[in-house]
Structure 1
């Protein structure tokens, strides 16, 4: 089995005993991204739109650091503090995905680290 830990300054550092991502046999398993500003490590303030934008930027940074694009995401799992934010979250999420979007699950009503309104984890084919 081929494995490599992914580290990039363009995404927030892990806030616990885990890595930003791990590449295993051609797939990136990215840790969940909450709306932390990678430069400061602080939570982006604002509503679900602002927080979803930062979380998606963090996902894009990890995907880019793995040497691939968002088009190669095969599975996304999204967590929302409030399921009522589903439509607004989707508007931001859709900006980052092409028409051949990945498979996805979205779970609402969960408490997330640091009081985040959303968290996004992805599995990405990197070849």
Structure 2
């Protein structure tokens, strides 16, 4: 098995024992991103909207470092400490992802690292979108 660790300074450094992403063949496993500013490693929490935008910016940076884009994400998991923000996540997600959207789960959780209100991770497949390869 060929395993490549992905790292970029355009996304927050890992704050634990994990890599930003790991690529195996054409599949990239994206670690969870919270709203850390990669330059300062401080949380962007002025508003829930700011926080969600930063999460998707961080995911985008890791996708690009792996040779892809958010449109190559086939599975996205979103973790929220308040499911009342679900509609806001949907609205902001539409600014970062194009149709067909990835498969997605949205899960309510009790807490997240650094008092984050939202975290997202995912799986990306390089070499063509799923819609492009299916009959």
TM-score class, shorter: over 0.9
Please, what TM-score do these two structures have when normalized by structure 1?
Answer: 0.96
Structure 1: where are the runs of 5+ without partners? none
**What secondary structure sits across from 2:98 in the alignment?**
coil
Instruction: Give unpaired runs (5+ residues) of structure 2.
Output: 128-135
CA deviation string 1:38-59 (max 9, x = no partner):
0001101222111000000000
Large movers: runs of 4+ above 2 Å? none
TM-score scaled by length of structure 2 = 0.91
Q: How does 1:72-111 map to 2 (within 5 A)?
A: 72-111=72-111
Say which one has the larger Rg: 2
Q: What do you get for the CA RMSD once the two structures are aligned?
A: 0.9
What does residue 66 of structure 1 align with? 66
Distance in 2 of aligned mates of 1:31 and 1:68: 15
How many residues in Structure 1 have an aligned counterpart in Structure 2?
A: 127
Quick one: distance in 2 between partners of 1:125 and 1:94? 20
